[in-house]
Structure 1
Amino acid sequence: MGTPLKVFITGASSGIGLAIAAEYARRGAILALVARRGDALERFRQAHPEHPVSIYPADVRDADALAAAAQDFVARYGCPDIVIANAGVSRGTVTGLGDLQIFRDVMDINYFGMVATFEPFAAAMAAARQGTLVGISSVAGVRGLPGSGAYSASKAAARTYLEALRVEMRSRGVAVVTIAPGFIRTPMTARNPYRMPFLMDAERFAREAADAIEHRKRYVVLPWQMRFVAIMLHIMPRWLYDAAMKKAPHKPRAAAD
């Protein structure tokens, strides 16, 4: 067997992040797991005693905490081979009803949290001319979804940031992979009160995402059926999009919960 991969994952306490962590544990990786819920991270570590798992209870909005986690992991194991910026939240929002702070929180976690995750590692990876930075975007970032203005905007920002980063890092020997999930069966999507086409199990998503990362794919939409949805959304003229989405169900407003 070869040297185990070293993988650093944010948002690893539930949903997609937890499934990705479990998939890399199955692949024998050395793991660094970051999430706000330290108890969930500890349960994962106890469930995988055969694997080196470092846990870091932290909020990705806290760049200093992320930098400290990165420094500790590098001191223990060296620079990771793969850094996965997965931490994210989805909140229903409506402009004009006092949701400004929710907009800020979603952008801080989904976009700025991604930048803060990569920041401690990018220079070291470039100096070594190796490694892969992975960002979890979303099909929801292709067009603005009514009721999800904050989420769509944050994922669109993540998508375009990752594209810029990919070009910047390519000549420096570092791969950048964008993974855009459609609907994945997680606690986050369980709250959606509407039909979710091509709903994919988190375990299958994690397996296919890890394969895409291994092959350093530039941009991957999962499940595969959602690729066509994303393409159609991208090319659809605005008048047609407006008409199609006029009666679309909205995500419930978070502040109304």
Structure 2
Amino acid sequence: MKVFITGASSGIGEALATEYAKRFQNKDTTIGLVARRSEHLQKLQSKLQETYKIKCAIYPLDVRNHQALATTAADFIQQYGTPDIVIACAGVSRGTLTEHVEDIAAFQAIMDINVMGLVHTFQPFIAAMRQAGQGQLVGVASVAGIRGLPGAGAYSASKAAAISYLESLRVEMAQHNIAVTTIAPGYIRTPMTDVNQYKMPFLMDPNVFAHKFASAVENKRRFCVIPWQMGWVARLMRLIPPFLWDFAMKKAPHKKRLDWDWL
């Protein structure tokens, strides 16, 4: 089993790396891990190799750099073969307000990481998967992409774009026997949500989320909301008329605009 994961140094990505290492330990497994923070990747690599006896390749890079990802994909394929699963998990969130000119850079970064990061991650692997006649591409979206949330224009827009992009990709890849799965998390306990100062319904621990995520991928689900309770919330969000949504969201709490320093 060969799995390639971006955004692997913390949060959901780290939990997924651990879950896959645990699932396929002692079974000639190789996991490729991508993230910006080299020191975190090195610690995770040592932990996974020592605990689960798997091969673990690390690649410190930014998913905004498509050339770096192309070089990394080529290296991984050459050394270990075509991955069975490629998971684009790298993502960021920050409160944004269009009225502030200084937030333009945040809008750009969020779109580049959360949307173009998916494209940069998948594109270099597709030719090899087509040649192999199999493979699975998995993108992490969010329930926040279902409707626009106040104070999160960039994040909601990026995840809505991710959902539509992954749906297009799924249809395109079907003829090549390459599955595409969209996972839309609700609230997962990670550094990204730890800064939120409002109630987060159905908050889930990352290790529990990772187990459910891997099961959905194994079953080749097309679209899956985790936890399932947020799936019903997402369905309700789609049905609410715009005037009621506007009224309900008018005084909703916002994520802080300066939660993250990653631009």
TM-score scaled by length of structure 2: 0.94
Query: For 1:87 and 1:48, how far apart are their aligned partners in 2?
Result: 19
Large movers: runs of 4+ above 6 Å: none
Query: For 2:260 and 2:155, how far apart are their aligned partners in 1?
Result: 17
| TM-superposition CA deviations, 1:147-201 (whole Å, max 9, x none) | 0000000000000000000011011100000000000001110001100000011
After TM superposition, give the deviation of residue 127 of structure 1 in Å: 2.3
Q: Identity percentage over the alignment?
A: 58
State the match for 2:38 in structure 1: 38
State the match for 1:86 in structure 2: 89
After TM superposition, give the deviation of residue 106 of structure 1 in Å: 0.2
Matched, 1:6 2:9: no
State the match for 1:58 in structure 2: 61
- Residue 5 of structure 2 aligns with an amino acid whose one-letter code is I
- Residue 6 of structure 1 aligns with an amino acid whose one-letter code is K
State the match for 2:186 in structure 1: 182
Q: Please give the secondary structure, in 1, of the residue aligned with 2:191.
A: coil
On the 8 A contact 2:195/2:259 being kept in 1, the answer is no
State the match for 1:204 in structure 2: 208
Query: For 2:111 and 2:127, how far apart are their aligned partners in 1?
Result: 24
On the 8 A contact 2:82/2:128 being kept in 1, the answer is yes
Equivalent residue in structure 2 for 1:73, among 76, 79, 82: 76
Matched, 1:167 2:163: no
Matched, 1:136 2:140: yes
State the match for 2:48 in structure 1: 48
Q: Please give the secondary structure, in 2, of the residue aligned with 1:200.
A: coil
State the match for 1:246 in structure 2: 250
State the match for 1:146 in structure 2: 150
CA, structure 1 residues 238+201, in 2 after alignment: closer, same or farther (shift >3 Å)? Answer: same
- Residue 93 of structure 1 aligns with an amino acid whose one-letter code is T
Query: For 1:68 and 1:33, how far apart are their aligned partners in 2?
Result: 14
After TM superposition, give the deviation of residue 47 of structure 1 in Å: 1.0
After TM superposition, give the deviation of residue 96 of structure 1 in Å: 1.6
After TM superposition, give the deviation of residue 234 of structure 1 in Å: 1.0
After TM superposition, give the deviation of residue 67 of structure 1 in Å: 0.8
State the match for 2:15 in structure 1: 19
Query: For 1:222 and 1:256, how far apart are their aligned partners in 2?
Result: 24
- Residue 57 of structure 1 aligns with an amino acid whose one-letter code is P
With 238-247 and 174-183 compared, the bigger mean Cα shift is at 238-247
Q: Please give the secondary structure, in 2, of the residue aligned with 1:179.
A: strand
Consecutive unaligned residues of structure 2, counting only runs of 5 or more, are none
After TM superposition, give the deviation of residue 256 of structure 1 in Å: 9.7
| TM-superposition CA deviations, 1:27-46 (whole Å, max 9, x none) | 12310000000110100111
CA, structure 1 residues 251+170, in 2 after alignment: closer, same or farther (shift >3 Å)? Answer: same
Equivalent residue in structure 2 for 1:220, among 202, 220, 224: 224
Q: Please give the secondary structure, in 1, of the residue aligned with 2:44.
A: helix
Q: Please give the secondary structure, in 2, of the residue aligned with 1:212.
A: helix
Matched, 1:117 2:121: yes
| TM-superposition CA deviations, 1:106-134 (whole Å, max 9, x none) | 00000001100001011221222200000
Consecutive unaligned residues of structure 1, counting only runs of 5 or more, are none
- Residue 41 of structure 2 aligns with an amino acid whose one-letter code is L
After TM superposition, give the deviation of residue 254 of structure 1 in Å: 2.1
Q: Please give the secondary structure, in 1, of the residue aligned with 2:150.
A: coil
With 7-16 and 121-130 compared, the bigger mean Cα shift is at 121-130
Query: For 1:129 and 1:242, how far apart are their aligned partners in 2?
Result: 47
TM-score scaled by length of structure 1: 0.96
